[in-house]
Structure 1
Amino acid sequence: MGEVQEGRSKYYTPNEVALHNNSADCWISFLGKVYDLTNLINQHKGGNLTSPILAMAGNDISHWFNQNTGDLKTYVDAEKGIVRYYTPHGDLLHIPPSEPRSDYNNDFGRPWWKDRRYEVGTLTKKPRKLRIVNTLTSQQHIIEVCSEETMLEILARYICYNSHAESYTWKYKGDELDKTKTLEENGILDEDFELEELGMDPEQWIPAIHIYFNDDLRSHYEKNSA
């Protein structure tokens, strides 16, 4: 079965992240990574400091961060001349006060946005759609995949539609695909931008991959019946 290679990050589309959008299942993405913050939310249930996170559950919050430092954005308070974290959505968990306070608890270790324990994978730089055509059954399915994924990982996405997908030969324009390579590496180029420049809808031009059962029972039956 198509599994993620050891040491290789699992890729997710924005639509997949968006499915995890509540306090019982809270995912977010930022700076190209995907995080499951469900346990963090449960540990601080009822507190207002997690409200900004819950409000953005299932979304990307890269705009909260400095792209260069990977830390939350800061600004200089013009009135007091001190550096503050930029939190337009309200006070946020693990942000220290800008001024000394005796009631601030800093024994949490790493702040949640730097804690790799919550990281579950990588956000794709470009989701792509594929049309999978089963030449044995004539069934077609359109699936969304990550551009960085190998054909093995794409097969793993498709297997929910066809549990025997591994028993098929996958081809594009008649050429067999290398399952260890990505779509681009197999010559299935992303032409969405060019299509849009020509005023054409990419949804109408989704690349089609044809899969062929390695032991076509229909052909076997027809041959024996002749």
Structure 2
Amino acid sequence: MAETSKHLIKPYKKRNYYIPEDVEVHCTAADCWVSFFYKVYDLSTLLHEHRGDPLCWPIIQAAGSDISHWFDEETGEPKAYIDPVSNMKVVYCPFGRYLHVPPIDPSGYFDTSFKIPWWKDEKYYIGHLSKKPRKIRLLNMLSKTDDIIEVASEETLEEILDRYLPYNIHAASYTWKMSGRALDMDLSLEENGIEDDSDEFKRLEIDDNMYIPTIHLYYNDDLTVK
């Protein structure tokens, strides 16, 4: 049973946007995520289908990381270079040849049964990688708990609320405010007027952790569990 369970595909929370921290925790053969060009892919089923194949190992080694440097941004294909020994064009494979990459020697065995290489197969795509993760402070005005979480800047406050649920399962029972103004949960932080000043802090060589926007949560009367 233990041998079988380690190969089971693990469930996860589906999101429109992920932050690098979301990807990093999926770093095993049975639970393998990667990102490239601001897209996140769950390759767990791919590795499960090919388990035991040594061409899986380079992908497993990269699990939980961004592999944009493996690919050409214009073509979306793996980067290639001229091998100085064979003088042939070969695919750049930082951890060794991986699934769906042909061998250098054209006479070598190569399984061509796949229709689409995994890096172009949208069935593995699960969402966008945030182009700008940012931190926010959520101050519960009832319990006085103060939590700092990292979120995707593209997310709506409703999606951020979902990230906050592990800290407070009754988060949907609160009105979210800033400077006394109720925020629109269907809009992003920036759309709610909560600007991201981290670039300005960086320019001024100021630690952006010195100021993290604070959203105040005011308890309503119901105990809605989201």
Q: TM-score, normalised by structure 2?
A: 0.86
Offset at residue 146 of structure 1 (A): 0.2
Determine the C-alpha separation between the residues in 2 that align with 1:101 and 1:212.
Answer: 68
Give the match for residue 131 of structure 1: 137
SS, match of residue 143 in structure 2? coil
SS, match of residue 77 in structure 2? coil
Matched, 1:25 2:25: no
Determine the C-alpha separation between the residues in 1 that align with 2:103 and 2:52.
Answer: 21
Give the match for residue 50 of structure 2: 44
SS, match of residue 181 in structure 1? coil
Matched, 1:56 2:62: yes
Counterpart code for 1:157: R
Determine the C-alpha separation between the residues in 2 that align with 1:41 and 1:132.
Answer: 39
Unaligned runs of 5+ in 1: 217-226
Q: How many residues align?
A: 210
User: Structure 2 residue aligned with 1:175, among 181, 193, 204?
Assistant: 181
Give the match for residue 9 of structure 2: none
Give the match for residue 89 of structure 2: 83
CA contact (8 A) 1:133 1:209 kept: yes
CA contact (8 A) 1:18 1:58 kept: yes
Offset at residue 141 of structure 1 (A): 1.0
CA contact (8 A) 1:31 1:70 kept: no
User: Structure 1 residue aligned with 2:98, among 86, 92, 97?
Assistant: 92
SS, match of residue 120 in structure 1? strand
Determine the C-alpha separation between the residues in 2 that align with 1:215 and 1:124.
Answer: 34
Offset at residue 204 of structure 1 (A): 2.2
Counterpart code for 2:97: D
Counterpart code for 2:150: E
User: Structure 2 residue aligned with 1:154, among 157, 160, 163?
Assistant: 160
Determine the C-alpha separation between the residues in 2 that align with 1:37 and 1:78.
Answer: 32
Unaligned runs of 5+ in 2: 1-12
Determine the C-alpha separation between the residues in 2 that align with 1:35 and 1:184.
Answer: 27
Instruction: Give runs of ≥4 in structure 1 deviating > 6 Å.
Output: none
1:176-219 Cα distance to aligned partner (Å, 9 max, x none): 11111111111111111212222321112111000111239xxx
Offset at residue 30 of structure 1 (A): 0.8
Give the match for residue 210 of structure 1: 216
